[in-house]
Chains A and B, each alone.
Chain A
């Protein structure tokens, strides 16, 4: 299996707080890779460093063999990493379809002149953006709500829409920040099916999750963060039995 993402000693400080320290991990192509840890362990910080919303202080990231720039979210999106947010961040006053169409921004290139003159290439591109948007809405199962304002969608559908928007950027790595948070049992089951079909379609998935049951059955490998450091990285069944992980989650046993 070839490596898609490699993190080497990545570190991030906020003032005096070391939010991430020496994080090294590798994600293979075609994997579903889980990132877990107690609250405040640095999972979301790692996500933000990876996707360029935070500028890392130490270490380096390699994606598909190329070094990833620091900061510069648009370049990282262009390189092929897309993400969703823990607290859903949709363009709430745009329709579901428009949200996904925004995701196509980076894979299209019409500018002002094309837009004003509405040239043939611009029209064709706009048509392609629209049909790809509809296709993705169908893929995540909310095409019936395409012209609905994003804010009017149900919680589960908003999560799906965010995934569709991320997929619109044609990622090689899809990073999902607690996608199952706040979902009911039925929604969780269908979300799992969606993630599996995304992987089957050739997109590697990085998953941050709190719901242990959800992540254990889904991921190929899991890394555990605690206090900004990686304390374990292994297959799910081994992680479950790892004493360091149990300690991190349940506290150290006292004699």
Chain B
């Protein structure tokens, strides 16, 4: 009923245009701005996958999760352990990624099970604790038996190999060189589209309706015969498995993982993407993920030259300015578009209702 039109192109032409844009994007960006920016887009795609996973938990089922990055960590470490000299294991990615989704999904259930009775603030605190526990485990599982290498992290992770072609080296076809970041781009686009597809299908299903029903009124959902326990656990598991896939891709891309990539700030960042983009809206969440990854980079690279042009010298260190600008833009979006940049129709109504009630009071 509320299908975002962007991903449901009514015409074949629209579909072709989007496909062409997705294919050409890295070449245009790489050619004009350099491969650094293709790398930024790669990271944005990873964040988009994360945000879509969190969107299932927060956007659809209405369960506030502040420890979501833990599932990203689980996926990343699983990849790192099974495809690096750490244990001397080098399993193919077609084994590791599904396994990562599965293990992260199990972690999702582990987090979900004790929190079934909690909502809102209380749930947020417990999930925050869970996220920290996972990070601290990664940090300390180097003794008595060394599993995660502790704070040093795991390096030397084998890059992605697809049909024997490593994605970490430029690929030459027909005298044309495709840089590594662009190869990763295509891999990530594939997985992001897969996750978008799964999200869309779930949204319009019996399960998706049950999630929204729980978000709207849990007591009524129970009275309708929905097994809220199982349906919530399913939301946690589905969301977590997206995080696990994304984590595995991240580990193969960076070829290095360490606990500091999985702090609370990262969870908050992903939550910002979901909320700023528009909870429950797939198009919005994709947009949120893209903007919140690209904007800080734009500020980082743009703040220096702009100051030089205006004032003749750099007054404020771009590094410190960028988080300020970033924070201000978040505040501006939330003030002027409280339902998100591209809201789901339902949420738009909810925010409008809350506003009306606020004005009456």
Contacts and interface: CB of A to CB of B under 8 A. Distances in A.
Contact of A74 (B206, B228, B350): B228
Contact of B202 (A53, A82, A112): A112
Nearest to B346: A93
A111 B228 contact: no
A94 interface: yes
A52 to B, nearest CB: 8
A115 B206 contact: yes
Interface in A128-179: 129, 147, 149, 151, 165-166, 168-169
Nearest to A108: B206
Nearest to B208: A115
A37 to B, nearest CB: 22
Contacts of A110: 205-207
B238 A77 contact: no
B319 interface: no
B224 A105 contact: yes
B226 A74 contact: yes
Contact of A103 (B212, B224, B234, B349): B224
Contacts of A90: 217, 220
A111 B207 contact: yes
B222 A74 contact: yes
Contacts of B301: none
Given A115-B201, A115-B208, A53 B223 contact: yes
Given A93-B349, A112-B202, A151-B353, A98 B225 contact: no
Nearest to A95: B1
B210 interface: yes
A73 B222 contact: yes
A170 to B, nearest CB: 10
A91 B213 contact: yes
Contacts of B219: 53, 85, 89
B223 A73 contact: yes
Given A53-B219, A73-B225, A78-B225, A102 B205 contact: no
Nearest to A78: B225
Given A89-B220, A165-B224, A102 B210 contact: yes
A118 interface: yes
Nearest to B227: A74
A131 to B, nearest CB: 15
A142 B80 CA distance: 57
Given A91-B212, A91-B213, A51 B223 contact: yes
A92 interface: yes
Chain B binding surface SS class: helix
Contacts of A85: 219-220, 223
A169 B225 contact: yes
Interface in B234-248: 234, 238
Interface string A95-136: 100100111111010111011101000100110010000000
A83 interface: yes
B221 interface: yes
Interface residues on A, range: 35 or more
B202 A102 contact: no
A227 B353 CA distance: 38
A102 B224 contact: yes
B169 interface: no
Contacts of A77: 223-225
Contacts of B212: 91, 93-94, 98
Nearest to A110: B206
A100 to B, nearest CB: 10
A51 to B, nearest CB: 6
A111 B227 CA distance: 13
A202 B70 CA distance: 52
Given A102-B221, A118-B201, A91 B206 contact: no
B317 interface: no
A94 B216 CA distance: 8
| Listed residue (B207, B350, B353) with the most chain A CB atoms within 10 angstroms of its CB | B207
A174 to B, nearest CB: 12
A129 to B, nearest CB: 7
Contacts of A111: 207
B206 A126 contact: yes
Which among B198, B206, B222 has the greatest number of chain A C-beta atoms within 10 A? B206
B225 A106 contact: yes
A129 B206 contact: yes
Most B CB contacts (10 A, CB to CB) among A98, A101, A166, A169 go to A98
Nearest to B344: A93
B191 to A, nearest CB: 15
A115 B223 contact: no
Contacts of A102: 209-210, 213, 221, 224, 226
Contacts of A83: 223
A-B pairs with lowest CB-CB distance, top 3? A77-B225, A106-B225, A115-B205
18 contacts: A51-B223, A74-B225, A77-B223, A77-B225, A93-B216, A93-B347, A93-B349, A93-B350, A94-B209, A94-B212, A101-B209, A102-B213, A103-B225, A110-B206, A110-B207, A112-B234, A115-B205, A149-B349
Interface of B: 1, 197-198, 201-202, 204-210, 212-213, 216-217, 219-228, 234, 238, 346-347, 349-350, 353
